[in-house]
Amino acid sequence: MKDINTGISGFAELTVTDSDLAVNVGSGSLRVFATPVMVMLMEKAACACLAEYLEGDETTVGTEMNVKHISATPCGMNVRAEAVLTEVNGREFTFTVKASDEAGPIGEGIHKRFLVYGEKFTAKAQSKSK
């Protein structure tokens, strides 16, 4: 991994469609932006934050997510997530994450990711099914 400093940020965006609604992802019965999809967008922002620093077979996996979903978003609105790297502890990365729709903040929290080597990590996971 290339040298990395705290304070860098990454972003991810989407327009909420039917497939992103709580009623359609199994996380509720309402036609509003699903919390699991918001979490995915926050993780995507954290991945974007680290992308240019990874080398070779390096990648990161999410290991912890602690978020609050503070406001509902209807279908058709744009949502933007931001991740800011706040701590590097060896191969562990900690981010503050937040998400907003066109009307304002909808979520916030802390997310951790861990550096792994893709081929080795995948092989270890596959060995569980033998």
**Per-residue model confidence (pLDDT) at position 73:** 98
The tens digit of pLDDT for each residue in 9-38 reads: 999 999 999 999 999 999 999 999 999 999
The tens digit of pLDDT for each residue in 37-78 reads: 999 999 999 999 999 999 999 999 999 999 999 999 999 999
- Residue 82 and residue 95: Cα distance in Å, rounded? 9
Handedness of CA 39, 65, 42, 55 (dihedral sign): negative
* Mean pLDDT across 92-111: 98
Tokens describing residue 29: 């019965």
Kindly report the length of the chain: 130
pLDDT band at 130 (very low <50, low <70, confident <90, very high): confident
- Residue 109 and residue 67: Cα distance in Å, rounded? 4
The tens digit of pLDDT for each residue in 102-123 reads: 999 999 999 999 999 999 999 9
Each domain of the chain, given as residue ranges in start order, spans 9-129
Answer for the pair 58, 117: CB distance below 8 angstroms, yes or no. Answer: yes
3-state SS class at 28: coil
Tokens describing residue 115: 């550096």
- Residue 31 and residue 4: Cα distance in Å, rounded? 40
Class of domain 9-129: alpha beta
| Cross-strand pairs, 117 | 58
Handedness of CA 115, 2, 38, 25 (dihedral sign): negative
* pTM of the predicted model as reported, rounded to 2 decimal places: 0.95
